[in-house]
Amino acid sequence: MAELHDLTALEQGAAIAGGELSSVALTDHYLDRIDRIDRKDTSLGAYLTVTADLAREQAAGADRDTAAARRDGTRLSPLHGVPLAVKDLVQVADVRFTAGSRAFADRIGDLDDHVVTRLRAAGTVLLGKTNLPEFALPCYTENRLGPPTRNPWDPERSPGGSSGGSAAAVAAGLAPLAHGTDAGGSVRIPASACGLVGIKPSRGRVSNGPSRPDVTGLSTHGALARTVADAAALVDAMAGPMPGDVYTAPGYPGGGTLLDHAGREPGPLRIAGLRAPMVPDAELHPDCAAAYGAAAGTLTALGHTVEEVEMPADGGIVEAFTHVWSVEAASYELEPYEEGELMPFTAYLRDLADTVTARQYHQALRTFRGVGQMLTDLLFSAYDVILTPTLAEPPVLTGELRGDTDPAADFARMTAFMPYTTVYNLTGLPAVSVPSSWTPDGLPTGVMLGGRYADEPTLVSLAAQLHATTSLTRRHPAMW
């Protein structure tokens, strides 16, 4: 017999809307699993803070709203009453807000960030705040607040990062879907490592305000879920302009919601396959190459045209990202005594920022724009979608990317691990990581679809078509 967490988020929402399930019962189910699996049985480390009282209060309110809607014949959000997790890089009023740093271990949020305001308006229920590395800077999920987040498929391995807590929660059945942020691949990396769908929307699709508006355009809020439709529905719930936004994305081509497009056939598409990374000296692991090849073959069998394309590796892109990323690390305001609480990698980036000149920073932002123009002129003039591996390697062992003694070498190692994802942050283009296949060791591996600016619908339609051909949605880790 299926358990509640076996249902997709949209199935849960439909059952709540139809009166077959209460949000309170569903919320209690997840809170019990979090207490048992995340805290006692496995020490998964997915959540930093569990908001049990708030969740039950929101769930009771959602049930009242649902009952009124049934009486009135009105329609609510498809995720109304559905619990979810939010990455602890955003503020929720009166809830612990650490940003993954021991320097902020006891800080409390004093407002709702706009994305949280949107999620409240959609009637979702906040189960808690998920784990992340310090300030979401590296691509693993380890910090000084507690034990590392572990990959539900193999607890000896990392779920990736920086939205690793969110991914682990969904993969382990501790939330039906989760919010993440993505400034260099931080939604798509853990999606691939944990066998999930990860959507990074176009720049400006979801508001980054008000507390930390991203003037570089690198970061956006994204969605992690077990199905493309669930992830699309979460993006719909988060999306929309808010007062003071630095960037705002236009409406989708053809209108409608992203969830609408998740149920539509994409039609035959022209797909550019980029097997080789654009990062110098990065090597593609055979397991990831096999996943990419299998996905290309499947897409061809589905009626699409996949053509292999080569783009030159460019160290200047890595340098530009490093300059901007170090300044981002330095943008966090700390008291002198708090500096001593920082991780070595964070301290390294903040020191590096002191060497970045205004001209170098400006040139880095120009490089970002140039990469976007290059992709538009050279690829999207002839192709609808870009296909790549999501990662250059399968999930790595916990601690493998974090050395602490040589942060510069760690940064280079991380860059080689994730050489495909960052280009979509530099350019602001949308991308989706789709679970593709399994390694011989039983670890999930994803492929990534990238598209034109504001054309998330094409990616979501294609991702849903590709995902339907895999068995990944029917497999779960042992702790499930």
- Where in the sequence numbering do the catalytic residues fall? 87, 162, 186
Residues 6+ apart with CB under 8 A from 424: 185, 200, 430, 431, 450
Residues 6+ apart with CB under 8 A from 427: 368, 371, 372, 375, 453
Q: If we measure between CA atoms, which residue out of 187, 437, 391 comes closest to residue 295?
A: 437
Query: What tokens does 45 get?
Result: 């480390």
Cα torsion 285, 291, 297, 302 to 10°: value is -150
Q: Which residue in this structure is represented by tokens 């050395």?
A: 403
Residues 6+ apart with CB under 8 A from 176: 5, 7, 8, 9, 12, 30, 82, 83, 84, 170, 225, 226, 230
Q: Are strands 220-225 and 197-200 parallel, antiparallel or unpaired?
A: antiparallel
Q: Are strands 220-225 and 177-182 parallel, antiparallel or unpaired?
A: antiparallel
How far apart are alpha carbons 370 and 378 in whole angstroms?
Answer: 12
Cα torsion 137, 138, 141, 147 to 10°: value is -90
E-strand ranges in 228-340 read 270-273, 305-308
How far apart are alpha carbons 286 and 66 in whole angstroms?
Answer: 50
Q: Supply angle C-alpha 270, 276, 277, rounded to 5.
A: 110
**Beta partners for 198?**
224, 433
**Region for 302 from its dihedrals, namely left if φ exceeds 0, alpha if ψ lies in -120 to 50, beta otherwise:** alpha
